[in-house]
Structure formats: C-alpha cells, structure tokens
Structure 1
C-alpha cells in the first residue's frame, strides 16, 4: 500500500476530496474547483482547476483519465489522456477537458470531471547501443498487420 499526501488548496475546503465511487473502483473522481460556471463550446478545451495538490512517493505516478459517463453521454474527455502527474510535482492538479460533443457543456463547482488512477513506475536505465536484436515484426509500424 502506498501513502499519498493530499492538500486542499485555500478556498477549496468546501469541496470533497477525491474519492472512489465504488469499493473496487480503480480511479478517484476529481472535482472542478471553478469559482463560477465554466462553458466549453464544441471543439474547444479548457484548463479546469481541482483545488488539490499531491505528494506521492518515488516510484508512483498519477494518471488523469476521462470519466466514461461524461465521454459517452456528453462527449467530454481529457485532451491529453492519460495526463501524467509525476511524483515530484507539487502544484495544483489541473485537467485539460475537451468538448467533442455537439452542445455547449457547462462545468459547475464540485462537478466530477475526471478520474485519478495511481500506477507504479519502474526504474529504467536506457542503454545506448548500435544494434538491436531481430524480431519477426522488425520495424513494422502503424497498420503493418492490416486493419
């Protein structure tokens, strides 16, 4: 079990902390800390504050992911999904939401706008080399096995 410290930023004490909506949910729902209703027009995106900051131990990252209900019902998703929050970041979590739907979407204070999933990050050392081992796939890229 990892312990992650969470800080509510000044002026956001009225908002619930991120929480899982079911016992076995993977993600903690993040809420909008907007001070007034915010409109996102179709095809546009906005940076949404959450009013929280985290302190994660080394070897952990947080990923910001869309909420499936908002994506399916309204076309609202996280623009850079998954957004990565590194263990050494201490600033406010802010979410880039984009409206892929056909109607203006309104975000109110306290709305659940995204989810936060924690993942372990392995320590990796890149090893420069002049050659790589051969595989059946080789350098076959996008669509190389068909559609």
Structure 2
C-alpha cells in the first residue's frame, strides 16, 4: 500500500486459511479500518450469537492489537450487533480471526424459507427458519479491523490516588442532559 499521507505503517503478515478468504484493504485513503469478510454462509437465529469465520490469520507486530469493530451500515440497517465490540486480536494470537455477531431480534413465532440479509432485505434460504433470522452470506463485509498501538501498563500499588473533580463518581454522575 502506498503511504501518501505520512501515517505510520506497521508490517502485518496475513495467512489465508481458506481459498475464498479476502485479503483486507483500505477502501479510501483516510479510512481507519479495513473490511473483514465472511468466508461462509451463516444463518443467525433470533437471540442467537454466531461465530463468523474470515478465513484469515494475522501476525501482528509486538505492541499492536487488531480491533474488530462494527460496520456502521450493518448496525444502521439491521438488528445484527458485534458481541464484544470492539473485539481484540492480540499480537501473540495466530488462529483464525472470527467475528462474533448477535441477532438481537426476538423470535417472531413465524417460520418459512425467508429471512433477512445484512441490509435487512428478505432473502430465500434452503431451510425453515424464523422470519427474524439473518443470513450472513459468504463475501459479505461483516466488520472492520483497526490496527491500534497498545502500550504496556507499569502498575504501581499506592495507598492513595490523586484527587480529581470527578472523584469516584461513576455511571450517570455527570447527568443525562
């Protein structure tokens, strides 16, 4: 990739574990993330979580992580959500990167051979499913990956922490409006 914008470049090795695995690329020059693509068809029933394989394994440089994040189009158009967003792929992991996706719809109680795709459009499938099921198709862009620098913490146990304006105020401490 040509780095015409003076952004840092980290060498990332990729192994194709499946013949149809799509090598990631940045769609536009200023994009932070690259697409991760499903390598097989998966039906996700209402209330179910599915592990969607990408067919890729990564060797990240020491000091980096690969964050697996939602694609905004899928989140806006469907009831599919990445389970552990952002998911972290550690630099030491060498297995297949998969994306955990939740179908947050509740069962409709109606079944047939039609469900929804990632654009929330009806699609025919080869088996009976709840109509609130989703089909992830082989070749669908299901998530985005973002390479991030990860500093290592140097933990120090102390008796007291410094005071701040917020203090120990937690959830909702700044109000809702």
TM-score higher than 0.5: yes
Residues 1-147 of structure 1: matches in 2 within 5 Å? 1-9=9-17, 12-34=18-40, 37-101=41-105, 103-147=132-176
How many residues end up aligned between the 2 structures? 143
Equivalent-residue separation in structure 2 for 1:125 and 1:56 (angstroms):
22
Equivalent-residue separation in structure 2 for 1:117 and 1:38 (angstroms):
24
Residue 100 of structure 1: how far off its partner (Å): 2.5
Spell out, residue by residue over 1:87-112, the C-alpha distance to the aligned partner (whole angstroms, 9 max, x if none): 11111101100112473210111211
Equivalent-residue separation in structure 2 for 1:45 and 1:60 (angstroms):
27
Match for residue 117 of structure 2?
Answer: none
Equivalent-residue separation in structure 2 for 1:90 and 1:16 (angstroms):
17
Q: State the SS of the aligned residue for 1:71.
A: helix
Larger RCO (CA within 8 A; separation ≥ 6): 1
TM-score, normalized by length of structure 1? 0.91
| Structure 1: stretches of 5+ with no match in the other structure | none
Q: Kindly indicate whether the alpha-carbon contact (under 8 Å) linking 1:74 and 1:101 is maintained by their aligned counterparts in 2.
A: no
